[in-house]
Amino acid sequence: MSLPEPSYELKPTPTTGQRIRTYFGWYGQLDGTERRTFWACFSGWMLDAMDVQVYAVLIPTLLAVWHLTKGQAGVLGTSALIVSSIGGWGAGILADRYGRVRVLQVTVLWFAFFSLAAALCQDYTQLLVARSLQGLGFGGEWAAGAALMSETIRPAFRGRAVGVVAGSYSVGYGIAAVCGTIILLVLPPDLAWRTLFGIGLLPALLVFFVRRYVGESRVFLAGQANRAKSGTAFLEIFAPAMLVRTILCAALTAGALGGNYVMLTWLPTYLKLERGLSVSHAGIFLFVNIAGSFLGHMTSAHLSDAIGRRNTFLLMSGCSILTVLSYTLLPLDPVLVFLIGIPLGFFTSGIVTNIGAWFAEFYPTRMRGSGQGFAYNFGRGFGSVVPSVVGFASESMHLGSAMAICAGSAYGLVFLSALALPETKGQKLSD
């Protein structure tokens, strides 16, 4: 007796468009309030990133035009980041008292104004002051925006939505790299750097959108009555029950941003001075690295909701160490430098993607802005010193070696901090 032939149903191979719709299918399930908040925060972070990374693109030009040392260039990069830690903590406290949206508007305007002021500076000291004051708005924008996003987006999609917004940093960096490459090729150096800083006025336009279309989070509004009676509780983040968690969050941020800032600040200079690339070739290498960064943000955001916040940080930090050491220490030919730029950007950017979502789940509403603002920005303050250390260290060793030591150590700190923190995937925000 012969057996019937088995039948196989051949399923059509999904098209690229179908894969993209599946990958971002969660976005279609967001309501109008969630979408407007998403795009307001995405645009704000993207434009802020553009302004910040314009400086990284301009470092070689400023070294030549103003005859700066690498140490002075590192201080200019670090100053804005250190002051941003103060702005972030202060904005977090104000956001807990006056609301996330109102503080978001103020910080965006502040950042745009001092970006324009940087374009009008006449010497190193003036630029140092303008860049430092610009940092207040940069840090404050993250603190208010992260709390607003975390409270507005439902728990099932929080990791992906907040992570994709973090990925807008790569978009802003890409705009800075493209604009910087074009303007530096077209305009004389003395005019080019002023033009690029002047573009930083663009984020001010975002305030009109926020004022009209973005409302305060319902989680924040629901707890207003309780806060009116008891007041905001920013000092509670140092209470015995929260202190260890706050310290670990600050340490994790210090490592993630310290390593990230090393690459963001010094990579354009490393490609030009140590790899000998021209302005146009360095721009192409940066674009590949930025493309990897964007993919890293998107992938890390999805991993956060799939395998958990903690496991994603462990994976990203371990791979960041390997790629940074390979990129900066191995005698690679230009083709390999070009190719490794993709995983380098992927992991060193993916490691910072989920900070906002994870930290929001550690703190109740009455101290969420304060807790996120302090932990993120205290860590940012320490992390922001690392580019300066690289600048001074590179005066007695190769720039690549200084980058490897500082960034590798920073990512090791992330790994250890993530091991000690609890998993919170899918957790509802508490009041």
Predicted local confidence at residue 347, as pLDDT = 93
Q: What angle do CA 315, 319, 324 make, to 5 degrees?
A: 150
> What tokens does 409 get?
């150590």
pLDDT at site 364: 83
Q: What is the C-alpha to C-alpha distance for residues 190 and 173, in angstroms, rounded to an integer?
A: 22
Encoded tokens for 370 = 């304060």
- Residues 356, 149: contact at Cβ < 8 Å? yes
Is residue 127 pLDDT above 80, yes or no? Answer: yes
Task: Look at residue 49 and tell me whether its pLDDT is greater than 60.
Answer: yes
In 3D space, the residue among 204, 214, 194, 43 whose CA is nearest the CA of residue 137 turns out to be 204
pLDDT band at 10 (very low <50, low <70, confident <90, very high): very low
Q: Are 99 and 139 in contact (CB under 8 A)?
A: no
Name the residue among 79, 422, 376, 86 with its Cα closest to residue 251: 376
Cβ atoms 143, 363 nearer than 8 A = no
**Residue at 411: amino acid letter:** Y
> Is 1 a residue whose pLDDT tops 60?
no
More confident residue, 139 or 14: 139
The amino acid present at 42, given as its one-letter code, is F
- Residue 387 corresponds to which tokens in the numbers above? 């580019």
What's the confidence (pLDDT) of residue 431? 60
pLDDT tens-digit series, residues 306-357: 899 999 999 999 999 999 998 888 887 878 878 888 898 899 988 988 888 8
pLDDT at 419 > cutoff 90 = yes
Average the pLDDT over each of 55-64, 136-145, 171-180, 225-234 and give the range with the smallest value.
225-234
Q: Which residue has the higher pLDDT, 401 or 56?
A: 401
Instruction: Report pLDDT digits (tens) over 76-96.
Output: 877 877 788 788 878 888 888
Confidence of residue 227 (pLDDT cuts 50, 70, 90): low
Would you state the pLDDT for residue 50?
A: 85
What is the pLDDT confidence band of residue 405, given thresholds at 50, 70 and 90? very high
Q: Is the pLDDT of residue 153 over 50?
A: yes
189-203, 345-359, 364-378, 410-424: range with highest mean pLDDT: 410-424
Percent of the chain with pLDDT over 90: 15
What six digits make up the tokens of 35? 């979408």
Amino acid 114 reads F
